[in-house]
Amino acid sequence: MTKTQSYEGFTEEERDAMKERAAELKKSSRGGAGAKKAAADDQDVLDKIAEMPEADRVIAEKLYAIVRDTAPDLAPKTWYGMPAWARDGKVVVFFKPAAKFKVRYAEVGFNEWAQLDDGEMWPTAFAVIAMNPTIEKTLTGLVEKAAG
């Protein structure tokens, strides 16, 4: 590739996220005891949240509390280096910080295991730029529905 050409593949941030996912998979393949592993996974999520810039951290901390209080059966874990909550190892809800991918807004996303089905089309990701009581209430309802 010459200096005038550009590479249109994965961004540096995307490559970093894939490396984090590979490390997560390697770590999880080692197994571990139930409560001890759950506590370690929870701490991993808290550590990721603590590393975030304030704007993302405020949203992530509130989402963490919402999931903990609304859907305690969802297990915290990291997913591509992002906070996520899963059932039977399958991610139901996740938080994608804006700073991680150098984008304009953070996202709260829901994977196919979320119970958000509503007719023939429904949203699965929500842009979030700030936390306030209205957004907190909306996210609480979404998490509650997603968890089933």
CATH of the domain at 133: 3.90.1150.200
Is residue 56 one of the residues assigned to a domain? yes
Helix ranges, the chain (H): 12-29, 34-51, 54-70, 98-101, 133-147
The boundaries of the domain holding residue 78 are 12-147
Is residue 71 one of the residues assigned to a domain? yes
Per-residue pLDDT of 100-140, as tens digits, reads 999 999 999 999 999 999 999 999 999 999 999 999 999 99
Is residue 1 one of the residues assigned to a domain? no
Per-residue pLDDT of 29-43, as tens digits, reads 566 667 787 888 899
How many of the other CB atoms lie within 10 Å of CB of 9? 7
Both tokens assigned to 9: 């593949």
* pLDDT for residue 13 is more than 70: yes
Give the model's pLDDT for residue 33.
60
Q: How many domains does the chain have?
A: 1
Is residue 42 one of the residues assigned to a domain? yes
